[in-house]
Amino acid sequence: MHSNLVEIKLVENGIKPKRTTDGACAYDVYARRVEFLSDTEAKIYLGFKIDTSKLSSVTNMDWGSLLMPRSGWGTKHKFKLDNTVGLIDTDYRGEVIAFASWNTKPEDLDAGARVAQLAITPFYTGDLVIVPELSSSSRGESGFGSTGHG
């Protein structure tokens, strides 16, 4: 896959998202500006706009991005995105913004802080077909915790 198929535009004082290791599945993203909404919540402007539409034209798949908290901040500060995972549609062209909350306020939550991760991923966007019955499976209709791992 060609790395130049995803375009980003930096907003004033924005920092380019970076993969910090060759094995990283996502890009670290940085706060451009933090607007504190309360003692436990903030609106974090991430300093870039993204366009994944060129990937779709080359791969014949639909692409988008997922914004997730970084595991270090998440465990240290109980830092989370308010919608858990942010989905960035391929046709959105505004600045990427995270709404976040925490139990212990990160002292270094300011401009330049690495606050989240951005994963670029394909999505199925084809037609959903209504059928009278679904095929059977070994799990069937057993719900939460039914696989023995919950």
Place of tokens 């779709």: 56
Q: What local confidence, expressed as pLDDT, does residue 3 receive?
A: 56
- In whole angstroms, what is the distance from residue 66 CA to residue 53 CA? 15
This prediction has a pTM of 0.82
Q: Could you tell me the two tokens for 87?
A: 């989905």
Q: What local confidence, expressed as pLDDT, does residue 143 receive?
A: 72
Domain boundaries, the chain: 3-123
Candidates 3.40.50.300, 3.30.365.10, 1.10.10.10, 2.70.40.10; CATH matching 3-123: 2.70.40.10
C-alpha distance from residue 126 to each of 56, 57, 60, 129 (Å): 13, 15, 12, 9
Q: Which amino acid is at 11?
A: V
Contact 67, 88 (CB under 8 A): yes
* Phi, then psi, of 136 in degrees rounded to 5: -80, 160
- In whole angstroms, what is the distance from residue 116 CA to residue 46 CA? 9
Up-side HSE of residue 81: CA atoms within 13 Å toward CB?
21
Q: What local confidence, expressed as pLDDT, does residue 144 receive?
A: 67
Mean pLDDT, consecutive 10-residue segments, the chain of 150 residues? 79 95 94 92 95 85 90 76 87 94 79 92 90 89 65
- In whole angstroms, what is the distance from residue 88 CA to residue 93 CA? 9
